[in-house]
Amino acid sequence: MRTAVTRPAGTPFVRSMLAVVWKDLAAEWRSKEILSSMLVFALLVILIFNFALELDASARREATAGILWVTLAFAGTLGLNRSMAVEKDRGCLDGLLLAPVDRTAIYFGKSIANWLFMLSVALIVLPVYSILYNVNLFNPGLLMVILLGSEGYVAIGTLLSSMAVQTRMRDILLPILLFPVIIPVVLASVKASYGYLQGSAMTDIQPWITLLVASDLIFTAVAFMVFDYVVEE
């Protein structure tokens, strides 16, 4: 070993957070485990809805927001579970917790990576959905709702998956914990998406956007405050 090593007081928050994001993206680039499972699942769901509902043109436009968010929420659960299981299976979560970093930097790093995975899935699902359902989804307002909705989803989802992964029932526990909590985000996302797709007045959409932003802020703040306790033995 070398004779002298510089020991800074603490690894900077942003640097630790970006290290976690880089690690998750690099590992996913190699394995494609998370994205492929989320994507296949999402595409299957919209395909099943397409055949099962047999909607006419106007009903399709009515149902689009709901189907889209159900698809993203289910696929997101797969991604959240897998993202944390990778940490647990080889003891890597201990490796992260042993590092002299603020543990919330680990949380934010994982959240940002999960968010990017979810947005990547949405990026592929949207054009496929547009073709299958013959609905134009390239609406700036809808894209903003997807950004906000998925942020709230991964903010609380990452926290709950770090709890669920420490149990033997981790695969089934996450949706049981997550779906009741995530209702405000999914509800606001569906209503706001519906408003943008139907061309509703901004005054009708605004309350849902406000609820969405408030939910995002609350979920992020709660996760920031309790993540340290959740991962503590």
Partner 1 sequence: MVEQTPPMIQVQKLVKRFGLKTVLRSLDFSVQPGEFVALLGPNGAGKTTFLRILSSLSSPTLGTVTISGYSLPGQAAAVRRRLGVVSHLPLLYGDLSAEENLTFYGRLYAVEGLKARIDEVLEIVGLAPRRRDLVRTFSRGMQQRLAIGRAILHDPDVLLLDEPHTGLDQDACAMLDEVLRQVSGLGRTVVMTSHDLARAEDLASRFDILSRGRIQASVKAEDLPVNGLLAFYRESLRAADSRPRHEVAA
**Which residues sit at the interface with partner 1, rule CB under 8 A?**
1-2, 5-8, 10-12, 15-16, 19, 22-23, 26-28, 30-31, 86, 90-92, 94-101, 232-233
Q: How far is the CB of 165 from partner 1 (least distance, A)?
A: 15
Q: Treating both helix axes as pointing N-terminal to C-terminal, what angle do 183-198 and 57-89 enclose, rounded to 10 degrees?
A: 140
Looking at the Cβ atoms of 22 and 179, the one nearer to partner 1 is 22
Following CA atoms 89, 91, 95, 96 in sequence, which dihedral angle do they give, to the nearest 10 degrees? 40
Looking at the Cβ atoms of 30 and 58, the one nearer to partner 1 is 30
Angle at 181 between CA 184 and CA 185, to 5 degrees: 25
Q: How far is the CB of 26 from partner 1 (least distance, A)?
A: 6
* Residue 80 identity: L
Angle at 139 between CA 113 and CA 40, to 5 degrees: 45
Q: How far is the CB of 178 from partner 1 (least distance, A)?
A: 25
Q: Whole-angstrom Cα distance, residue 106 to residue 91?
A: 15
Looking at the Cβ atoms of 10 and 127, the one nearer to partner 1 is 10
Looking at the Cβ atoms of 21 and 211, the one nearer to partner 1 is 21
Q: Whole-angstrom Cα distance, residue 175 to residue 217?
A: 21
Q: What is the DSSP letter of 9?
A: S
Looking at the Cβ atoms of 72 and 101, the one nearer to partner 1 is 101
Q: How far is the CB of 220 from partner 1 (least distance, A)?
A: 22
CB-based contact 46:122 (threshold 8 Å): no
Q: How far is the CB of 193 from partner 1 (least distance, A)?
A: 34
Closest CA to 228 of 90, 143, 104, 92: 104
What does the DSSP assignment read for 41-84? HHHHHHHHHHHHH---HHHHHHHHHHHHHHHHHHHHHHHHHHHH
Looking at the Cβ atoms of 23 and 61, the one nearer to partner 1 is 23
Q: How far is the CB of 177 from partner 1 (least distance, A)?
A: 22
